C-alpha cells in the first residue's frame, strides 16, 4: 500500500513541476496524455488498485481519485492561463495607436496621354462634337482605298503598315498578309468613313484611338501611338470655320497667348490641306533645337474633306462639304510637360507616370 501511495504522490509532484515550466498548449496536452492516456502513468497506477488488499483499497482509491481531480484541475487552470496570456500578447501586438497619422493610400490616376485625350474630348464637346470609335483591326479598303489612297498611290509610302497574317501561314513557316486585306489601322481616319456611313448630317465627331505602324522605335517614334481625329460634315462648312475652331482649341490647351499659324500641307483625303502650328513653347518663338530653329511646332494636320472621300462616305460633294483634322496626343503631351522621349509613355515605369497625378 505504501509503495502505491508513494508512486501516486510522486506522479503528482512531477506533474506539478512539468506544468509550471510548460510554455505552450502543446506541452500541456502532452502532459495530459502522459497521465491519462491508455498507457499513462496515472492510468497504470489506478489499474494496480485491484491487487491492493481489500482493507486498504478504499483509502487508496480515494487518494487516487483526489490526485486525478487535482491534476485535471491544474491542467485546466494552466491551459486557461496560457490562452489568456497569448490573447494579451496578440492584443498588445495588434494594438492601434489612434493618435498616429494614417498610412497614405495609393490613388490611381490616368496615364498622361489619356489625360490629354480626355481634355481634348471636353474641349471639343463644347463645339458639339461626340465621340465615335472604330475598330483597331481594319481592312485595306477602309484604311486606304475609301480615303482616296488606291494601291498605286505614292502616299502609301507614308504609312508603314502592319498586316495581319493569313491564318495558318505563320504555323507553316511562311507568314503572308491576309488575303482579305486585314491590317492594324495606321491612323484613325477610317473611322471617318464609318461615321459618315452610320450618321446623318450634320456630323461632328471626334475619333480617338490607338494606331500601329511598322516603324523603328526612337525618342520621337513608336510602333504604337494614339491619334485624335475630328470630322465635320454639313452644308456650307469652310476652311475659315476650321481655322477659327483650331485656334480656340490651341488657346484652350496651351494658353490664350499662344501664337498660331496655318501653312500649306498635303494629305490625300483632304483638299486643300493645311498644317497647323503653334509658337514654340520651349523658346517662345525665338528658335531652338526643339522647334528646329523655326520658332514653330506643328501639332496637327487638317483640311477640307476631299470630294472622293465624301462620295465614299455616301454624300454628294456638291451638296455637302466637310473638314477634318488629326492630331497626335502623344506628342501634344510631350509639349505640355516638356517630355523629351516618347518611349517613356510605354515604359511602365511608375516613377515616370506617377508624376502626372492631375489626371485623376
pLDDT tens digit sequence for 138-162: 998 999 999 999 888 776 666 678 8
Of 289, 268, 287, 271, give the one whose Cα is nearest residue 279: 287
SS3 letters across the chain: CHHHHHHHHHHHHHHHHHHHHCCCHHHHHHHHHHHHCCCCHHHHHHHHHHHCCCCCHHHHHHHHHHHHHHHHHHHHHHHHHHHHHHHHHHHHHCCCCCCCCCCCCCCCCCCHHHHHHHHHHHHHHCCCCEECCCCCEEEHHHHCHHHCCCCCCHHHHHCCCEECECCCCCCCCCCCECCCCEEECCCCCHHHHHHHHHCCCCEEEEEEEEEECCCCCECCECCEEEEEEEEEEECCCCHHHHHHHHHHHHHHHHCCCCCEEEEEECCCCEEEEEEEEEECCCCCCCCCHHHCCCCEEEEEEEEEECHHHHHHCCCCCCCCEEEEEEECHHHHHHHHHCCCCHHHHHCCCHHHHCCCHHHC
Say if residues 41 and 35 touch (Cβ distance below 8 Å).
yes
Q: Which CATH class is domain 112-359?
A: alpha beta
Domain residue spans in the chain? 2-93, 112-359
Q: Is the pLDDT of residue 223 over 90?
A: no
* Ramachandran bin of 120, using left for φ above 0, alpha for ψ from -120 to 50, beta for the remaining angles: alpha
Average pLDDT of the chain, as a whole number: 85
Burial of 114 (0-12, 13-18, 19+ CB in 10 A): middle
Query: Higher-confidence residue: 275 or 85?
Result: 275
Mean pLDDT across the stretch 104-118? 84
Q: Tally the C-alpha atoms within 13 A of residue 281's C-alpha that lie toward its C-beta.
A: 22
Average pLDDT over residues 298-319: 94
- Better-scored residue on pLDDT, 288 or 224: 224
Q: What is the pTM of this model?
A: 0.66
**pLDDT tens per residue across span 10-20:** 877 887 778 77
Q: Nearest-CA neighbor of 117 among 346, 352, 330, 300?
A: 330
| Predicted pLDDT at 350 | 82
d(CA 351, CA 158): 35
Confidence bin at 360 (pLDDT 50/70/90): very low
Q: Which pLDDT value is given to residue 159?
A: 65
Grid cell, residue 30, equals 502532452
| pLDDT tens string 114-128 | 989 999 999 999 999
> What is residue 2's predicted lDDT score, i.e. its pLDDT?
54
Q: Which long-range contacts (CB under 8 A, 24 or more apart) does 290-297 make?
A: 296/261, 297/335
pLDDT at 87: 64
Mean pLDDT, rounded, for 236-240:
91
* 130 or 291, greater pLDDT: 130
Give residues with Cβ within 8 angstroms of 207, minimum separation 6: 131, 132, 133, 134, 188, 191, 192, 195, 227, 228, 229, 230, 231
User: How far is it, in rounded angstroms, from Cα 246 to Cα 252?
Assistant: 10
Tell me what percent of the residues of the chain surpass a pLDDT of 70.
95
For 21-74, the pLDDT digits (tens) are 777 777 878 888 888 787 777 778 777 777 777 777 777 778 778 878 888 888
d(CA 330, CA 144): 23
Q: pLDDT for 202-217, tens place per residue?
A: 999 999 999 998 888 8
Beta bridge partners of 208: 228
Q: How confident is the model over 253-262, as pLDDT tens digits?
A: 888 888 999 9
Total length of the chain: 360
pLDDT score of 5 more than 80: no
Amino acid at each position: 500500500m505504501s509503495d502505491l501511495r508513494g508512486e501516486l504522490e510522486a506522479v503528482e509532484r512531477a506533474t506539478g513541476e512539468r506544468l509550471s515550466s510548460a510554455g505552450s498548449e502543446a506541452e500541456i496536452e502532452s502532459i495530459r496524455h502522459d497521465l491519462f492516456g491508455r498507457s499513462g502513468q496515472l492510468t497504470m497506477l489506478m489499474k494496480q488498485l485491484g491487487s491492493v488488499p481489500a482493507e486498504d483499497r478504499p483509502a487508496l482509491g480515494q487518494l487516487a481519485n483526489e490526485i486525478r481531480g487535482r491534476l485535471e484541475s491544474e491542467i485546466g487552470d494552466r491551459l486557461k492561463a496560457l490562452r489568456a496570456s497569448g490573447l494579451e500578447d496578440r492584443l498588445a501586438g495588434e494594438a492601434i495607436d489612434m493618435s498616429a497619422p494614417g498610412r497614405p493610400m495609393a490613388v490611381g490616376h490616368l496615364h498622361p496621354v489619356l489625360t490629354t485625350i480626355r481634355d481634348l474630348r471636353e474641349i471639343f464637346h463644347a463645339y458639339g462634337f461626340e465621340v465615335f470609335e472604330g475598330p483597331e483591326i481594319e481592312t485595306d479598303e477602309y484604311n486606304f482605298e475609301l480615303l482616296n489612297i488606291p494601291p498605286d498611290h505614292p502616299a502609301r509610302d507614308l504609312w508603314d503598315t502592319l498586316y495581319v497574317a493569313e491564318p495558318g501561314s505563320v504555323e507553316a513557316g511562311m507568314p503572308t498578309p491576309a488575303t482579305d486585306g486585314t491590317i492594324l489601322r495606321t491612323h484613325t481616319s477610317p473611322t471617318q468613313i464609318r461615321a459618315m456611313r452610320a450618321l446623318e448630317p450634320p456630323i461632328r465627331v471626334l475619333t480617338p484611338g490607338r494606331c500601329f505602324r511598322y516603324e523603328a522605335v526612337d525618342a520621337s517614334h513608336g510602333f504604337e501611338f494614339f491619334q485624335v481625329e475630328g470630322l465635320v460634315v454639313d452644308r456650307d462648312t469652310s476652311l475659315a470655320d476650321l481655322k477659327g475652331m483650331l485656334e480656340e482649341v490651341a488657346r484652350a490647351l496651351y494658353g490664350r497667348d499662344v501664337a498660331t499659324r496655318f501653312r500649306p500641307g498635303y494629305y490625300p483625303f483632304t483638299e486643300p490641306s493645311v498644317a497647323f502650328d503653334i509658337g514654340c513653347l520651349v523658346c517662345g518663338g525665338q528658335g531652338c533645337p526643339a522647334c528646329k530653329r523655326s520658332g514653330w511646332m506643328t501639332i496637327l494636320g487638317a483640311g477640307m474633306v476631299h470630294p472622293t472621300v465624301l462620295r465614299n462616305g455616301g454624300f454628294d460633294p456638291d451638296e455637302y462639304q466637310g473638314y477634318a483634322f488629326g492630331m497626335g496626343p502623344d506628342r501634344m503631351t510631350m509639349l505640355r510637360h516638356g517630355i523629351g522621349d516618347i518611349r517613356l509613355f510605354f515604359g511602365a515605369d511608375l516613377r515616370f507616370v506617377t508624376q502626372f497625378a492631375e489626371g485623376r
